[in-house]
A = this chain, B = another copy of it.
Amino acid sequence: MFQSFAVTARPEQGPPRLAALRARLAEAGLDGFLVPRADAHQGEYVAARDERLAWLTGFTGSAGFCLVLPKIAGVFVDGRYRTQVKAQVDLADFTPVPWPDMKPGPWLTEQMPGGGRIGYDPWLATEKEIAEIAAAVGGAGITLEPVADNPVDAIWPDQPAPPLAPVAIHPIEFAGEEASDKRARLAKGLAEAGQAAAVLTLPDGICWLLNIRGADVPRNPVVHAFAILHGDGRLDLFIAPEKLDDTVRAHLGDGVVLHPPEAFAAALAALSGPVRIDPGSTPLRVIHILEEAGIDIARAEDPTLLPKARKNAAEIAGTVEAHLRDAAAMIEFLAWFDTAAPSGGLREIDVVKALEGYRRRANELRDISFETICGSGPHGAIMHYRVTEETNRRLHPGEIVVIDSGGQYLDGTTDITRTVAVGPAPDAARAPFTRVLQGMIAMSRLRWPVGLAGRDLDALARYPLWLAGQDFNHGTGHGVGAYLSVHEGPQRLSRVSHVPLEAGMILSNEPGYYREGAFGIRIENLIVVEPAPDLAGADPERRMLAFRTLTFVPIDRRLILPEMLAPAERDWLDRYHARVLELVGPRVGDAARAWLESATAPI
A interface with B by C-beta (< 8 Å): 431, 442, 445-449, 452, 455-460, 462-463, 466-471, 495, 532, 535, 537-539, 542, 544, 566-567
Give A566 to B203 CA distance when docked, in angstroms. Answer: 48
Given contacts A448-B459, A460-B459, A460-B460, contact A469 B537 (CB under 8 A): yes
Q: Please, which residues of chain B bring their CB within 8 A of the CB of A463?
A: 442, 446, 460
Chain B: CB-nearest residue to A468 = B537
Q: Please, which residues of chain B bring their CB within 8 A of the CB of A470?
A: 537-539, 542
A66 to chain B, nearest CB (A): 29
Interface centre among A446, A466, A467, A542 (most CB of B within 10 A): A466
Contact A468 B535 (CB under 8 A): yes
Contact A469 B457 (CB under 8 A): no
Provide 28 A-B residue pairs closer than 8 Å at the C-beta atoms, listed in order of the A residue.
Answer: A431-B537, A442-B463, A446-B463, A446-B466, A446-B467, A447-B466, A447-B467, A447-B469, A448-B466, A449-B466, A449-B471, A455-B455, A456-B458, A460-B460, A460-B463, A468-B535, A468-B537, A468-B538, A469-B532, A469-B538, A469-B544, A470-B537, A470-B538, A470-B539, A470-B542, A471-B539, A566-B566, A566-B567
Contact B449 A539 (CB under 8 A): no
A417 to chain B, nearest CB (A): 20
Q: 5 additional contacts, CB 8 Å, given A455-B455, A460-B463?
A: A445-B467, A446-B466, A460-B460, A468-B538, A470-B539
Give A437 to B466 CA distance when docked, in angstroms. Answer: 20
Chain B: CB-nearest residue to A540 = B516
Give A445 to B464 CA distance when docked, in angstroms. Answer: 11
Q: Please, which residues of chain B bring their CB within 8 A of the CB of A542?
A: 469-471
Chain B: CB-nearest residue to A542 = B471
Give A386 to B514 CA distance when docked, in angstroms. Answer: 52
Give A550 to B471 CA distance when docked, in angstroms. Answer: 27
Q: Please, which residues of chain B bring their CB within 8 A of the CB of A458?
A: 456
Q: Please, which residues of chain B bring their CB within 8 A of the CB of A544?
A: 466, 469
* Choice from B455, B535, B566 contacting A469 with Cβ under 8 Å: B535
Give A136 to B578 CA distance when docked, in angstroms. Answer: 56
Please state the number of chain copies in the assembly: 2
Nearest 10 A/B pairs, CB to CB = A469-B538, A566-B566, A469-B535, A447-B466, A470-B539, A448-B466, A449-B471, A456-B459, A456-B495, A457-B459
Contact B495 A452 (CB under 8 A): yes
Q: Please, which residues of chain B bring their CB within 8 A of the CB of A448?
A: 459, 462, 466
Q: Please, which residues of chain B bring their CB within 8 A of the CB of A471?
A: 449, 539, 542
Q: Please, which residues of chain B bring their CB within 8 A of the CB of A460?
A: 459-460, 463
A370 to chain B, nearest CB (A): 27
A103 to chain B, nearest CB (A): 18
A351 to chain B, nearest CB (A): 28
A430 to chain B, nearest CB (A): 12
Give A458 to B453 CA distance when docked, in angstroms. Answer: 12
Q: Please, which residues of chain B bring their CB within 8 A of the CB of A455?
A: 455-456
Q: Please, which residues of chain B bring their CB within 8 A of the CB of A456?
A: 455, 458-459, 495
Chain B: CB-nearest residue to A471 = B449
Q: Please, which residues of chain B bring their CB within 8 A of the CB of A457?
A: 459
Give A567 to B22 CA distance when docked, in angstroms. Answer: 66
Give A539 to B470 CA distance when docked, in angstroms. Answer: 5
A186 to chain B, nearest CB (A): 27
Give A468 to B446 CA distance when docked, in angstroms. Answer: 10
Give A448 to B469 CA distance when docked, in angstroms. Answer: 8
Give A291 to B376 CA distance when docked, in angstroms. Answer: 65
Q: Please, which residues of chain B bring their CB within 8 A of the CB of A532?
A: 469
Give A452 to B471 CA distance when docked, in angstroms. Answer: 13
Interface centre among A448, A469, A470, A538 (most CB of B within 10 A): A469
Q: Please, which residues of chain B bring their CB within 8 A of the CB of A567?
A: 566
Chain B: CB-nearest residue to A566 = B566
Give A566 to B470 CA distance when docked, in angstroms. Answer: 21
Q: Please, which residues of chain B bring their CB within 8 A of the CB of A468?
A: 535, 537-538
Give A535 to B442 CA distance when docked, in angstroms. Answer: 23
A544 to chain B, nearest CB (A): 6
Chain B: CB-nearest residue to A449 = B471
A257 to chain B, nearest CB (A): 37
Chain B: CB-nearest residue to A513 = B539
Q: Please, which residues of chain B bring their CB within 8 A of the CB of A535?
A: 468-469
A455 to chain B, nearest CB (A): 6
Q: Please, which residues of chain B bring their CB within 8 A of the CB of A539?
A: 469-471
Give A8 to B459 CA distance when docked, in angstroms. Answer: 46
Give A458 to B459 CA distance when docked, in angstroms. Answer: 9
Give A449 to B495 CA distance when docked, in angstroms. Answer: 12
Give A467 to B445 CA distance when docked, in angstroms. Answer: 7
A215 to chain B, nearest CB (A): 40
Give A314 to B495 CA distance when docked, in angstroms. Answer: 34
Give A111 to B598 CA distance when docked, in angstroms. Answer: 71
Chain B: CB-nearest residue to A565 = B566
A541 to chain B, nearest CB (A): 10
A477 to chain B, nearest CB (A): 15
Interface centre among A462, A471, A535, A539 (most CB of B within 10 A): A539
Give A457 to B466 CA distance when docked, in angstroms. Answer: 12
Give A474 to B431 CA distance when docked, in angstroms. Answer: 36
A492 to chain B, nearest CB (A): 14
Chain B: CB-nearest residue to A472 = B539
Chain B: CB-nearest residue to A534 = B469
Q: Please, which residues of chain B bring their CB within 8 A of the CB of A462?
A: 448
Chain B: CB-nearest residue to A442 = B463
Give A260 to B523 CA distance when docked, in angstroms. Answer: 67
Give A535 to B467 CA distance when docked, in angstroms. Answer: 9
